[in-house]
Structure 1
Amino acid sequence: MIKKHHLKITSYLNAGHAIRWKDTTGKIHIHTWQIICMIGTLDALTFPQYKFTTIEKVLDEVLEPFSQSTLNHIPPFDQLNPTIENFTDYLFDRFNEALKKLDCQLLSLEVSESPTRTCVITAL
Structure 2
Amino acid sequence: MRYQQYKFKFYMDARHAIYIGGKLGEVHPHTWEIVLHVVKGKENFEPFHVLEKAVEKFLEPFQNNYLNDIKPFDILNPTIENVCLYFKEKLQEILNAMGWIFLMIEMSETPGRTYVISMLDEQEMEQNQTVQTLTDLILDEIKHIGE
Q: Secondary structure of the residue that 2:26 maps to in structure 1?
A: coil
* Residue 4 of structure 1: how far off its partner (Å): 4.7
Residue 4 of structure 2 corresponds to: 5
Tell me whether 1:75 sits opposite 2:68 in the alignment. no
Matched position secondary structure for 2:38 = strand
Q: Point out where structure 2 has 5 or more consecutive residues left out of the alignment.
A: 121-147
Q: In the alignment, which residue of structure 2 is the partner of 1:99? A: 95
- Tell me the residue number matched to 1:24: 23
SS of aligned partner of 1:65: coil
Tell me the SS of whatever aligns to 2:29: strand
Q: Sequence identity, in percent?
A: 38
CA distance in 2 between counterparts of 1:23 and 1:98 reads: 34
Distance in 1 (alpha carbons) for counterparts of 2:29 and 2:110: 11
Say which SS state the counterpart of residue 90 (structure 1) adopts.
Answer: helix
1:35 matched residue in structure 2: 34
Q: Which residue of 1 aligns with 2:82?
A: 86
* 8 Å Cα contact 2:46-2:99 kept in structure 1: no
TM-score (norm 1): 0.89
Q: Which amino acid aligns with 1:78?
A: D
Partner amino acid, structure 2, of 1:17: H
CA contact 2:14–2:62 (8 Å) conserved in 1: yes
- Specify the SS of the correspondent of 1:108: strand
Counterparts of 1:32 and 1:25, CA distance in 2: 21
Q: Tell me the CA shift for residue 51 of structure 1.
A: 2.7
| Paired position in structure 1 for 2:56 | 60
Q: CA RMSD in A?
A: 1.6
Deviation larger for 55-64 or 107-116: 55-64
Report how many aligned residue pairs link the two structures: 119
Q: For 1:4 and 1:26, how far apart are their aligned partners in 2?
A: 42
Tell me, what secondary structure is at the counterpart of 1:66?
coil
Give the AA of the match of 1:114: T
Match of 1:119 among 115, 122, 125: 115
Kindly provide the amino acid, as one letter, of the partner of residue 123 in structure 1.
M
Q: Is the 8 A contact 2:17 2:68 kept in 1?
A: yes
